Structure 1
Amino acid sequence: MSSGVVPAPECRDAFAELKMSKTLKYITFKINDKKTEIIVDKTSSDPDYETFLKDLPPDACKWAVYDFEFTHEGSPRNKLCFYSWSPDTAPIRAKMVHAASKDALRKTLDGIGADIQGTDSVEVSFDVVLEKVKRFK
């Protein structure tokens, strides 16, 4: 099911900057006020995971890409993680449009290593995400 909401070109540009230049740590995306386009909400170079989590509001849906760094079997690694944040407390209509628009954004982001679904802070906690990214080779 498609919502008709499309990603703005700036979404692909910000993702390319995060992926290629490594100057960004994460990007958050949202649907614009007219409900016609997915836009970049915020970019950040702050490496603190807790800071990133604070940009996922408790009552609004967002998407994000985070450059998740971790150590696995003694080696430093990183995965670009795509987050679909849809908290239980968000309005139902917003959650429906968010879910229906996810694929349009996700298809423009080539090179994602893991998909993370979150409805509460536990599902996107560092340890939970770490277990998910370790499963992907």
Structure 2
Amino acid sequence: MEHILFSTSANAASGMAVHDDCKLKFLELKAKRTYRFIVFKIEEKQKQVIVEKVGEPAESYEDFTASLPADECRYAVYDYDFVTEENCQKSRIFFIASPDTSRVRSKMIYASSKDRFKRELDGIQVELQATDPTEIGLDVIKSRVDK
């Protein structure tokens, strides 16, 4: 009997698959608020996006940005809590394509896989594309929650 293996999450354009753990962890962040953030990495040899790191609910935005490598691309989601002018507690889930001063090949792989990967994470509310670390500062996050 022949077995055919395929991934329903394969990205036709770049050939990247999305590991189930990525979606499971994202659902836990979205539904249960189990995590403050999740950092995702593309494993080029395995051609898939995996979870690299999760942040506990008590971790800060500084903990999050410190977990992003300065010289490699990453995707990340961050659950940002804030209080509105009407004094309502709210949160927004940000999708962040992290700073990239990395190799051209790596940048191309991340860029070509981004939209497909983002679609796998149902519930993203705001997207940030950062080309350097200043573009994901907390002031930028704060400025985007009302838009």
Identify whether the pair has TM-score above 0.5, normalized to the shorter chain. yes
Please state how far the C-alpha of 1:35 moved relative to its aligned partner.
4.8
State which of 67, 70, 73 in structure 2 corresponds to 1:58.
70
Tell me which structure has the larger Cα radius of gyration.
Answer: 2
Distance in 2, matches of 1:98 and 1:86, equals: 11
TM-score under structure 1 length normalisation: 0.91
Distance in 2, matches of 1:86 and 1:97, equals: 14
Aligned: 1:108 with 2:108:
no
Distance in 2, matches of 1:36 and 1:16, equals: 22
Secondary structure of residue in 2 paired with 1:96: helix
State which of 45, 55, 67 in structure 2 corresponds to 1:34.
45
TM-score under structure 2 length normalisation: 0.86
**Which residue number in structure 2 is paired with residue 16 of structure 1?**
27
Cα contact 1:59–1:90 (8 A) shared by 2: yes
Cα contact 1:26–1:43 (8 A) shared by 2: yes
Secondary structure of residue in 1 paired with 2:120: coil
Please state how far the C-alpha of 1:133 moved relative to its aligned partner.
1.9
Cα contact 1:80–1:113 (8 A) shared by 2: yes
Cα contact 2:92–2:125 (8 A) shared by 1: yes
Which amino acid in structure 2 is aligned with residue 54 of structure 1? Answer: A
Write out per-residue CA displacement over residues 1-56 of structure 1, whole angstroms, 9 at most, x where no aligned residue: 82111211111001011111112111000111415100011111143100100111
> Across the two proteins, how many residue pairs are aligned to each other?
134
Distance in 1, matches of 2:139 and 2:115, equals: 26
Cα contact 2:36–2:59 (8 A) shared by 1: yes
Taking only the aligned residue pairs, the percentage that are identical comes to 37
Which amino acid in structure 2 is aligned with residue 7 of structure 1? Answer: V
> Structure 1 regions of 5+ residues with no counterpart?
none
**Which residue number in structure 2 is paired with residue 47 of structure 1?**
59
**Which residue number in structure 2 is paired with residue 80 of structure 1?**
93
**Which residue number in structure 2 is paired with residue 131 of structure 1?**
143
Please state how far the C-alpha of 1:90 moved relative to its aligned partner.
0.9
Please state how far the C-alpha of 1:70 moved relative to its aligned partner.
1.5
